Amino acid sequence: MWDPAVYHRYGTERSRPFFDLMARIGADGPREVVDLGCGPGELTATLAERWPQARVTGLDSSPEMIAKAAALGSAAQFRVADLTAWRPGPATGVVVTNAALQWVPEHRELITAWARELPAGAWFAMQVPGNFDAPSHRALREVARSEPYAAVVGDVVRDAPVDDAAGYAALLLDAGATVDAWETTYVHLLPDGGDEHPVLRWMEGTALRPVKAALGDLAWRTFRVTLNARLRAVYPARSGHVAFPFRRIFVVAHL
Ligand SMILES: C[S@@+](CC[C@H](N)C(=O)[O-])C[C@H]1O[C@@H](n2cnc3c(N)ncnc32)[C@H](O)[C@@H]1O
């Protein structure tokens, strides 16, 4: 289950890649704009502000996220839906998917299918995290694959569910698009105050969700304590902050 309140921790840091992605979309007057895996909807709402003439729709498979989004009162419309079932229509002008496709194992096939079905002139823009080899994820995998957790969550944490930017660029070039692809490592400087390491608090909003869901309450508490200690060792605080480098992968395609 997604918890919009936990996901909103570090909201400023999380939203920056979305705006960096948007800055490379050149669409003037799209009729329909869709945000696949829209989450709590604030970022989708900015699409409705940018293209007020467009019908803007945010789709997400989490009812909790869509409830939050629908309460914003934005001009965008929000719907609970699995993005794997979405298909472009003749009026689709912009497709945005920010920090969502890493959760969808078949996303490469979907990207190829969407690119082939999108009308000429449409834009497709995606961003996924590229931090699965970072110390944070290595620590997560080590703890998840150690005793007594391995039997329950050893398989829950994935090695690298995404490609690099060149891999996605190739898929879209093959479909005949003009492609702009890049990677950025943001160095988030997270304030460090209490016992809980800020990278643990960050990961609770995303990567740790399936682990928490799979472990019972007691096991989750000890897992958290163990991971917290590991993170403190690999991301030490300095001047009250922890530097958390976070690589992200971006691709914008124009059909
Ligand atoms: C990390 S959040 C990103 C939310 C938003 N795009 C943002 O940038 O803040 C990932 C979102 O993808 C959604 N998601 C994951 N798999 C999905 C699927 N198969 N269909 C629709 N939404 C999905 C989750 O429910 C979650 O809200």
- Each residue's pLDDT tens digit, 65-116: 999 999 999 999 999 999 999 999 999 999 999 999 999 999 999 999 999 9
What is the average pLDDT score of the chain?
A: 94
Residue 58 backbone phi and psi in degrees, to 5 = -110, 130
Other Cβ atoms within 10 Å of 76 Cβ, number: 25
Checking if the pLDDT of 2 tops 80, the result is no
Residue 247 CA to ligand 1 center (angstroms) comes to 18
Is 65's C-beta closer than 6 angstroms to any atom of ligand 1? yes
- Each residue's pLDDT tens digit, 154-188: 888 777 889 999 999 999 999 999 999 999 999 99
Judged on CB neighbours under 10 Å (0-12, 13-18, 19+), 194 is exposed
Whose CA is closest to 38, among 74, 9, 13? 74
Strands 123-129 and 241-254: antiparallel
Mutate to test the pocket of ligand 1, among 65, 127, 250 (most ligand atoms within 8 A of CB): 65
Checking if the pLDDT of 8 tops 80, the result is no
Residue 238 CA to ligand 1 center (angstroms) comes to 33
Write down the pLDDT at residue 46.
97
Write down the pLDDT at residue 76.
98
Is 206's C-beta closer than 6 angstroms to any atom of ligand 1? yes
pLDDT-derived band at 205, boundaries 50, 70, 90: confident
Q: Which fold has domain 4-254?
A: Rossmann fold (3.40.50)
- Each residue's pLDDT tens digit, 228-248: 999 999 999 999 999 999 999
Write down the pLDDT at residue 138.
93
Q: Which amino acid is it at 78?
A: F
The ranges assigned to domains in the chain are 4-254
**209 vs 1, higher pLDDT:** 209
- Each residue's pLDDT tens digit, 118-153: 999 999 999 999 998 999 999 999 999 999 999 998
